[in-house]
Structure 1
Amino acid sequence: MSLGKVAVIGAGPGGLAAAMELAGRGYQVTVYEKQPYIGGRTSRVQLGEYKFDRGPTFFMMPQLLEEMFQSVNRSLHDYVKLIELDPLYRLQFGDVHFSPTRDEAQMLERIEELFPGNGQGYLRFMKEEGEKFNRVSPLLQRPFGKLSDYISHDVFQALPRLNAIGSVYDRLSRYFSDERLKYAFTFQAKYLGMSPWECPGTFTILAYLEHKFGLFHPIGGVNRVCQAMAEVIREYDGVIATSCSVKRVLSKNGKAVGLLLDSGDKIDADHIIINADFATAMSRLFEPGELRKYSPAKLAKKKYSCSTYMMYLGVDREIKMPHHTVLFAENYRANVHDIMTKKVLSQDASIYIHNPGIIDASLAPQGKTALYALMPVPNLSANVNWDEQQERVKEAMLNRMEQEPELKGFSSHIKEEAIISPLHWRNDHDVYEGATFNLAHTLDQMMLLRPHNRFEELGNCWLVGGGTHPGSGLPTIFESARISTRLLMAQDSKDRIRVGGSASPIHKQKEATQWK
């Protein structure tokens, strides 16, 4: 017997995770996805015989997703083969190549060789940031919907370790004296689309997570994780409707009651879960004037992440580069300032290169390479004419990449290519202002001040994804799904008890089993 009907808007990783949890626990779930494919920003790009991840290119903290699969009596590893990356990545500062590893002894040796005198700072970083993570992680696993949520033991435990006053860069300056080494542990702020000089010091835990728990590549690409969740949803009789766009969330008496599709069909539902890009969803999915807190004027005043310029290149030769390479700008601080503050295209850019074929032969034919390159750029609030600048940026990126010995002359071997600029992110992928990493993680847009998992404007409506608590990045997106589905199930459990009186012993046992 179904516990109720749930409609999920968007088949991104958050929507799929929520749908999997609820389908596996007895809900009748349908996911509505506008695109003809699933995954959202974590989907696959296929160009002829070459396959690419559209967005995220590594998987972190697989234990979180393992727990979610186990909660619905499945094993992640029956669906996805994960390979741990060692080194984590290659970071290039001019002629200096630094390859961090999770092996502590090797890491100390490499740091002392390249950045003498900084080894002890690394050990302090791992110890102190580990203690911080242990205090902060409970706050990322539960909702913040009202002021009283701050009055709890875990908040008081975490407060002395939050490091919210001061930036990621400030925090790393306590551990390291060499600027390049600071950048090696602060560039992760870009995962949130922010500057390490502006990102709250709390987020030094991003680098800690990489160095403590490692980075993983799913064979077939990170999009394979989305495919795996979709398989489990279908195994539990859930439905994923692609090429099916939602026009409106329907409401009655202050509660969400269904959806109006672009086709004109009306869908009844007991709950609506929104996994669409947050600001885009608020702008399009509700009747004008229905939302007070998220009106167009108020959305425009919020802070958003930077954007990205993406190149997907099918190359008909082998490229022997590491899985991840970051080419730092000669003046990294000025580069970040251009993007985040001046909002101009930087003449001295940093570039990320993804070469997964070095460990995954499934992405291109033998002897060929599926190469992905990303350059952080301002979002569309900047005065950049992308119709004019797109080709110039492409040529600048290719010229910079050609300077690497492994890539010398590779441009003449490009047989397939696709570009996603900030304009494409907005127009083709419904990303508000092309802000690839969603709402910025500033102090006034975190925890209680971030859009709530239980959508406060409308009952029986829930948010998942990077635009709600706890934030952007795959691990936190999965946590948002887990938080929202637990709130939804807890509400339903209370409603059943209110309607039917005290829960029977059998019902209580069923609820206890569901929460394991």
Structure 2
Amino acid sequence: MLTRLDPGLKQKASEAMPPRAVVIGAGLGGLASAMRLGARGYQVIVLDRLDGPGGRGSAIWENGHRFDLGPTIVTVPQIFRGLWAACGRDFDAEVDLRPLDPFYEIRWPDGSRFAARKDSDAMRAEVARLSPMDVAGYDTFLKDSERRYWFGFEDLGRRSMHRFPDLLKVLPKFAWLRADRSVYGHAARRVKDERLRMALSFHPLFIGGDPFNVTSMYTLVSHLEKEFGVHYAMGGVDAIARAMVKAIEDQGGQVIQNAEVDEILLDKGRARGVRLTTGEILTAKVVVSNADAGHTYDRLLRNDRRKRWTPQKLKRSRWSMGLFVWYFGTRNTKDLWPEVGHHTILNGPRYKGLVRDIFINGHLSDDMSLYVHRPSVTDPSVAPEGGDTFYALSPVPHLGHDDPVDWTEAAEGYRQKVQKVLEDQLLPGLGDHLTASTVFTPETFRDRYLSPHGSGFSIEPRILQSAWFRPHNVSEEAEGLYLVGAGTHPGAGLPGVISSAEVLDSLVPDPETVAER
């Protein structure tokens, strides 16, 4: 992995060389795209502005603690196995996945708990413990989830949706599956207990969606978890990213860090390369952007007329919520909190009201719900001996609302509120054991990942911002330009971004065809 641009890369490739593909961004979608294009014979160069690969899935270190910055779980591992197989490699020989049981534990202010597991009988027992009358409704919900999985993930999510006629063909199926109904609305039709309604509907928050407005197609996540389990990659998602870099380099490709793309260069409507912030130019036959779709169209193509993704359209779009994440390390705590597992979700006193404040009102509430990650119970390498590594994530409004939060002023006060919730509900005595502390706010996401409005997951996956309505994997703004990652089809989350590279692979012509252009 290179940390600076090789001067030789600025030169136009020789006619005898394979056609060059430039990938903007070393997030998992960009790395997966580079692997697939490299396997097909392209000369691939990945350019990334950060100092290490992985994008939101990268890691940082502080006082002996490794903090996984973004995604913490792997679902649908066959998506990764298929990617590795396309490159003639064995994913399981290069990445150590560990199944988690339970997947996570949900806790409510009244002291009740719900442990999500793979075993069907164990899950029914959890449902029955909270609400015996809802067991039959839960079984029906799972059947609903499976139907949506086969249609929404294995069908639509694995193929391009850039042609409007393709959308027209599937509209009857959308109607039959009641895609107009929200995830929460669908869960509420199946179970009566409000705690179970939350447990079956919160998953869109993992990909930046409002459960009360996102299409019920996303109930498919419940089937994903149940069918394939929830896994942790030893070394974190950062270990997956580094394994991807090795695969790219073994193909002869290059991943260059500390190299920020300032503009995608077009010639007569066709992408011809990129200009870096340093002024250096790389020519290419194919350009793939793993940058946020909003950043790609609003910034990287700022000097070219856009037909569909104009500044006005992007301004009208709904964006996912922001994230406040406190990364912290502790000492002498290995045996201190024995009931706290790998993942815990702490619910605040409100569900619908809090979600509305975050997504609709743009208001930073005094109450909060937290997603707490404690990887050290599975992976001792993340913390010094006897210690723990955590992160606590709180969904918050993005920066695009009226009167956005000034996080330079609010961050420390909010962190203290997070710490108090943790000490009161999960980690008593936490303050006496802290050894490391780092905070990411929506402003960090804006500045580090160039995410519009500091949103955590790009464009929100509402029904009219999904499938054909979402930024396409093949750009309609320029020939030879392709998009992958959370802001494109099929959407955010590890399965989504890896699948976006699979869709890309079906759209990019063979190197021999591209070389003639």
Q: Does 1:146 align with 2:158?
A: no
Distance in 1 of aligned mates of 2:302 and 2:147:
46
**Higher RCO, 1 or 2 (CA under 8 Å, sep at least 6)?**
2
1:418 is aligned to 2:438: yes
| Cross-structure match for 2:264 | 249
Q: For 1:87-486, what aligned pairs fall within 5 Å after superposition?
A: 87-94=102-109, 95-136=111-152, 137-150=154-167, 152=169, 155=170, 158-318=173-333, 319-320=337-338, 321-382=340-401, 383=403, 384-404=405-425, 407-486=427-506
Q: In structure 1, what is the equivalent of residue 5 of structure 2?
A: none
Deviates most, 40-49 or 9-18? 40-49
Give the letter for the 2:425 counterpart. E
For residues 152-179 of structure 1, what are the alpha-carbon distances to aligned partners after superposition, in whole Å with 9 as ceiling and x for unaligned? 5xx3784355421111011111221101
Distance 2:75 2:315 in 1: 32
Q: Read off the aligned partner of 1:459 and give its amino acid letter.
A: E
1:9 aligns to what? 24
The one-letter code sitting in structure 2 at the alignment partner of 1:217 is: Y
Q: 1:342 to 1:418 in 2, by over 3 A?
A: same
1:286-331 Cα deviation digits (max 9, x unpaired): 2434324223233211110001001110111224311000001111
State the alpha-carbon separation in 2 of the partners of residues 450 and 358 from structure 1.
Answer: 38
- 1:351–1:374 CA contact under 8 A, matched in 2: yes
* Contact kept? 1:37, 1:43, Cα under 8 Å: yes
Specify the SS of the correspondent of 2:473.
coil
In the alignment, the residues of structure 2 paired with residue 98 and residue 229 of structure 1 have an alpha-carbon distance, to the nearest angstrom, of 35
Aligned partner of residue 287 in structure 2, secondary structure: strand
In the TM superposition, residue 102 of structure 1 has moved relative to its aligned partner by 1.0
Cα deviation for residue 493 of structure 1 reads 6.3
Show CA shifts across 1:445-464 (max 9, x none): 11111111111100000000
Give me the whole-angstrom Cα distance separating, in 1, the residues matched to 2:54 and 2:242: 8
Return the offset for 1:249.
Answer: 0.9
User: Cα distance 1:16–1:277, how it changes in 2: closer, same or farther (>3 A)?
Assistant: same
Question: Is contact 1:289-1:295 (8 Å) kept?
Answer: no
> CA, structure 1 residues 390+124, in 2 after alignment: closer, same or farther (shift >3 Å)?
same
Amino acid aligned to 1:146: R
- The sequence identity of aligned pairs, in percent, is 31
Output the TM-score relative to the length of structure 2: 0.92
**157 and 20 in structure 1: CA distance in 2 versus 1, 3 angstrom threshold:** farther
478 and 161 in structure 1: CA distance in 2 versus 1, 3 angstrom threshold: farther
Residue identity matched to 2:457: F
Letter in 2 for 1:218: A
Shift of 1:285: 1.1
How far did 1:12 drift? 0.3
Amino acid at match of 2:230: L
Q: Deviations over 1:420-443 (max 9, x none)?
A: 011111123211101111101122
Deviation at 1:211, TM superposition (A): 2.1
Give the whole-Å Cα distance in 2 for the aligned partners of 1:293 and 1:147.
14
Equivalenced residue count is 494
Distance 2:275 2:504 in 1: 23
1:503 is matched with which residue?
none
For structure 2, the residue ranges without an aligned partner over 5 or more in a row are 1-15
8 A Cα contact 2:19 2:285, kept in partner: yes
Deviation (angstroms), 1:266: 1.3
Equivalent AA in structure 1 for residue 265 of structure 2: L
CA 1:135–1:194: 2 relative to 1, 3 Å: closer
Unaligned runs of 5+ in 1: 501-516
Could you tell me which residue of structure 2 aligns to residue 43 of structure 1? 58
Give the distance between the partners of 1:175 and 1:2, measured in 2 at CA.
59
Give the counterpart letter for 1:445 in structure 2. Answer: Q
TM-score of the pair, normalised by structure 1: 0.92
